[in-house]
Amino acid sequence: MNQGIQQVVGAYVRLKNVTALLEMKAHRKELLSRALDTDQFSLALSRDLCQQDLAAIEDGIQDILKVGTLRGYVDHIEPHAIAGWAQCVDHPEIPLRVELYFDGRLAGRVLADRYRQDLEGANLGSGNHSFQFKPDQHAFLAAELIEVAAPNGMLLHGGTLKRTTAASVDQQQPALNPPP
């Protein structure tokens, strides 16, 4: 990992300068788009470094967002898909990263950056705040507890599925704001 980028990202996170991180992210994406030729070692190395930088920058952005006011809702938790929406009220157009846990273990992360007309119609910014996660079906079916959380660790409303041996039931947990 590039220590220089880590230090710069850390400084911007401490300053809560999400704009600077978004500019860095756009710049790295531009560089990445230019490093397409995989036959050349130097371009492959540049691409790998840009991808590492993008991951560090995205982590920094999410660190800033998680201290903001977050809201969201999980529409459904099913073996073929877990879907809903999430948004940071303070920075409504920056996609929020949602984390999914099966029995307390991280099963995956997904950005809430998909468009939904109903979200736009509810005046939730551009409407680009939905997410869909396709879980490993074996892991999903084996899990007794499935949780969907925002970057600050709070469960999204409707984001808990707890199964008993008799049946599957939703258990209420402390959650973020309900849907619009």
**Mean local confidence (pLDDT), 40-52:** 77
**Mean local confidence (pLDDT), 67-83:** 94
Q: Alpha carbon of 55 to those of 13, 32, 38, 112: distances in Å?
A: 14, 13, 20, 16
- Which residues 6+ apart lie within 8 Å of 47 measured at CB? 32, 35, 36, 38
Two tokens, residue 113: 């950056």
- Domain regions of the chain by residue span: 3-65, 70-169
Query: pLDDT at residue 168 above 70?
Result: no
Predicted confidence at residue 23, as pLDDT, reads 96
Q: How confident is the model at residue 62 (pLDDT cuts 50, 70, 90)?
A: very high
The fold adopted by the segment(s) 70-169 is Immunoglobulin-like (2.60.40)
pTM for this predicted structure: 0.79
- Per cent of the chain over pLDDT 70 is 86
Average pLDDT in the chain: 87
Q: How confident is the model at residue 104 (pLDDT cuts 50, 70, 90)?
A: very high
CA 19 to chain centre: 18
Q: How confident is the model at residue 48 (pLDDT cuts 50, 70, 90)?
A: confident
Q: Is the dihedral of CA 131, 132, 136, 137 positive or negative?
A: positive
Query: pLDDT at residue 174 above 60?
Result: no
